Amino acid sequence: MTGRERVLAALAGMPTDVPAALSITSTATVEAMRKSKSFFPDAHTNPISMAALAAESRDQGGFDSVSPYFSIHLEAAALGAKINWSDPAGTPFVVGHALSSLEDLTLPEDFCSLPIPSALIRTIGILRNRYRDNVAVIGKVIGPWTILYHLHGVENLLLDTLLDPVHTKEILMILSAIPITFAKAQFAAGADAVVWADHVTSDLVSAALYEETLYPVHRAAAEELNQFGPIILHCCGNVEDRMKLFSTTGFSCFHADSRNNIEKLISDSDNRIRLAGFVNNPVVLSQYSPRRVAAETGRILSKGITMPCPECAIPTSVTSANLRAVTSTLHSYRFRYAGK
């Protein structure tokens, strides 16, 4: 199978020749920046730099997919938040919120024509042309909860949600038009799958509040987007208390953090949503030797996770040798593996 065929089969729960080696979130490294001559912060918003860095990161790591969205801030920046795009060793962060109140929210008529979103759309087209049918191109959008706390502030959004969950749900539903539209544009540009990243972990919002305010938004988004291709839900942190909810959203796959218990997530997913991720970033990929990374990847496979991969955007200091240890381990399971 080609990498693209392998990824699409794995996301559909179909058998593959070997386990798919996905790069669901950023796998950009300083090594790849140096070789591609495409560095952060430019590679966050310049389509030529984005494509070059994504391609080099994919090639160095040996992945079956390529992912060009390296942060979680493009939508917020396009909607008026002030972003510090950091440097090659760091990650972007919000330095100025765009909303003092939820009532201040206004959406542009053509979000995808704005400079920052259009840069990512162009990047996806460049990568599709480069890899043709050989490598899966994975786009990404940021869900409305995360966009809203970038625009309004985490504390402000949590307070609004607690005081008036019904109104907050209305705002989230309105704002979800942005990632839905952005995802459709990425599919049209050549993306094979799109990540929906929304950080609704237990340290921010309870499972009950998630079910009341954002779960209906996620279900509606998945229903609208599934006709275009697989949608991968990504959420950092521990989500064991809401995995049963995630499994019924309609998303194709959930990309999980290593802080979750594998057996519990498998049980609660009940074969209704595929699982990927679980390879720890700060310790395993950042500090282990390639041999130990390979052993950890094999352990995750043995637990029943068919798509082990980095749990989130990797630190840029991770070596290509450690990324190769993940992908080569997966690709060594030839003739011994079939997806569920």
- On whether residue 340 sits in a domain, the answer given is no
In whole angstroms, how far apart are CA 243 and each of 81, 163, 253?
31, 25, 12
- Are the beta carbons of 190 and 125 closer than 8 angstroms? yes
Does 28 map to a domain? yes
In a domain, 337, yes or no: no
As a whole number of angstroms, the distance between CA 173 and CA 214 comes to 8
Residue 338 belongs to some domain of the structure: no
> Residue 337: what pLDDT?
46
Instruction: Of 281, 274, 261, give the one whose Cα is nearest residue 306.
Output: 274
In tens digits, what is the pLDDT along the chain, a chain of 340 residues?
A: 999 999 999 999 999 999 999 999 999 999 999 999 999 999 999 999 999 999 999 999 999 999 999 999 999 999 999 999 999 999 999 999 999 999 999 999 999 999 999 999 999 999 999 999 999 999 999 999 999 999 999 999 999 999 999 999 999 999 999 999 999 999 999 999 999 999 998 888 999 999 999 999 999 999 999 999 999 999 999 999 999 999 999 999 999 999 999 999 999 999 999 999 999 999 999 999 999 999 999 999 999 999 999 999 999 999 999 999 999 999 998 645 444 3
**CA-CA distance, 12 to 160, in Å (whole number)?**
38
Q: Evaluate whether residue 27 is within a structural domain.
A: yes
253-256, strands of its sheet edge to edge: 65-66, 136-142, 193-197, 231-234, 253-256, 274-279, 307-310
Domain that holds residue 168: 3-331
Q: 121-126: list long-range contacts, CB under 8 Å, 24+ apart.
A: 121/185, 121/186, 121/189, 122/47, 122/189, 123/47, 123/50, 123/51, 123/54, 123/68, 124/68, 124/186, 124/189, 124/190, 124/191, 125/189, 125/190, 126/47, 126/48, 126/51
**The total number of structural domains that make up the chain:** 1
Q: Is residue 339 part of a domain?
A: no
**Cβ-Cβ contacts under 8 Å for 141 (sequence gap 6 or more):** 75, 178, 179, 180, 182, 183, 186, 194, 195, 196, 197
pLDDT of residue 340: 38
pLDDT at 333: 85
For position 80, which CATH number holds? 3.20.20.210
Question: Of 275, 279, 258, which is closest to residue 267 (Cα–Cα)?
Answer: 275
For the record, the structure tokens of 26 come out as 């950023």
Burial class from Cβ neighbours inside 10 Å (0-12, 13-18, 19+) for residue 261 reads: middle
pLDDT (0 to 100) of residue 335 = 45
Asked whether residue 60 is domain-assigned, the answer is yes
Instruction: Specify if 336 maps to a domain.
Output: no
Count other C-beta atoms under 10 Å from residue 93's C-beta.
Answer: 13
